[in-house]
């Protein structure tokens, strides 16, 4: 089971008996479930992360459902199964968006909820921008016209509409994916834009439509991508939860780094 292999990997990391720990055992088990990652070729860190979270969710969800059925009476088994869609993964990482859609003809308003574990943010500049700029771009209202029209229930036909996203449930840990790989003139390219991101006091309240306890976040990890579309190298910066020191993870090289080094032009995934 990949969940067991992942648990062993995390345990080995925290025991501190080795200078570094290779994830070979976890990768071997994980690749059997997701064969696309079995080949020694380039893969996208965001896609890999989503698969890992989904896989761990399924494993922990099954364990939780089984424990509920064992501990509760047979009559309570139905409610245990119906609530088995949650896990420690959803508890920590899952948030919810709501898309407010307004028909521009009859002005009828409807909401479409959508769960997320990673928010993919557009980068609105080619040179320098901030994480707040990316968030503003993601959450700004958009107009749906032509082929993107909605089918309005009240009008009974396709209509132009406006759509605006907001967060209705903020996760404990929010992950931002900076969309560095974009299409331009029918060609896919990598954006090397410098994205400035705060280390603390990231306030998401302007984008949250309901009363949430979590509105301010602090940075805890960064995944970096160096290279281009065809060849690249991933590294990570992680903040120690106890000492609060930052460390760089570059294959077998793990080094303590100053806070100033955490702001990098190669940032691809941000964990808050």
Residue 199 C-beta-side C-alpha neighbours within 13 Å: 13
Residue 209 and residue 132 share a domain: yes
Residues 125 and 235 in one domain: yes
Domain residue limits at 47: 1-69+86-92
Whichever domain contains 179, its CATH number is: 3.90.70.10
- CA atoms of 118 and 267, how far apart (whole Å): 15
Q: Is 76 domain-assigned? A: no
Let me know whether 26 and 127 are in one domain.
Answer: no
For helices 45-71 and 2-15, angle between their N-to-C axes, nearest 10 degrees: 110
Q: What is the pLDDT of residues 196-225, one digit of tens each?
A: 999 999 999 999 987 766 679 999 999 999
pLDDT one-digit tens code per residue, 116-172: 999 999 999 989 999 999 999 999 999 999 999 999 999 999 999 999 999 999 999
* 129: helix, strand or coil: strand
Q: Is the pTM of this model over 0.85?
A: yes
Structural domain contains residue 205: yes
Helix (H, G, I), strand (E, B) or coil at 174: coil
Considering the domain architecture, whether residues 58 and 129 belong to the same structural domain is answered as no
């Amino acid at each position: 089971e990949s969940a067991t292999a992942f648990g062993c990997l995390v345990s080995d990391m925290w025991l501190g008996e080795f200078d570094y720990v290779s994830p070979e055992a976890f990768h071997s088990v994980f690749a059997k479930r997701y064969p696309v990652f079995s080949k020694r070729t380039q893969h996208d860190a965001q896609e890999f992360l989503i698969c890992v979270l989904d896989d761990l969710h399924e494993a922990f969800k099954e364990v939780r459902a089984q424990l509920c059925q064992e501990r509760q009476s047979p009559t309570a088994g139905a409610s245990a199964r119906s609530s088995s869609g949650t896990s420690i993964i959803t508890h920590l990482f899952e948030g919810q968006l709501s898309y407010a859609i307004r028909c521009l003809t009859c002005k009828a308003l409807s909401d479409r909820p959508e769960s997320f574990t990673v928010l993919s943010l557009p980068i609105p500049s080619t040179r320098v921008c901030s994480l707040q700029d990316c968030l503003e771009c993601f959450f700004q209202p958009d107009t749906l016209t032509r082929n993107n029209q909605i089918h309005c229930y009240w009008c009974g036909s396709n209509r132009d509409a406006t759509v605006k996203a907001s967060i209705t449930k903020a996760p404990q840990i929010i992950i931002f994916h900076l969309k560095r790989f974009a299409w331009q003139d029918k060609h896919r390219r990598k954006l090397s834009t410098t994205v400035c991101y705060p280390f603390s006091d990231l306030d998401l309240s302007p984008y949250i439509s309901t009363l949430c306890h979590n509105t301010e976040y602090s940075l805890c990890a960064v995944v970096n991508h160096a290279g281009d579309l065809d060849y690249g190298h991933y590294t990570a910066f992680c903040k120690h939860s106890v000492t609060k020191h930052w460390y760089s993870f570059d294959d077998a090289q793990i080094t303590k780094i100053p806070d100033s080094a955490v702001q990098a032009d190669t940032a691809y995934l941000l964990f808050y």
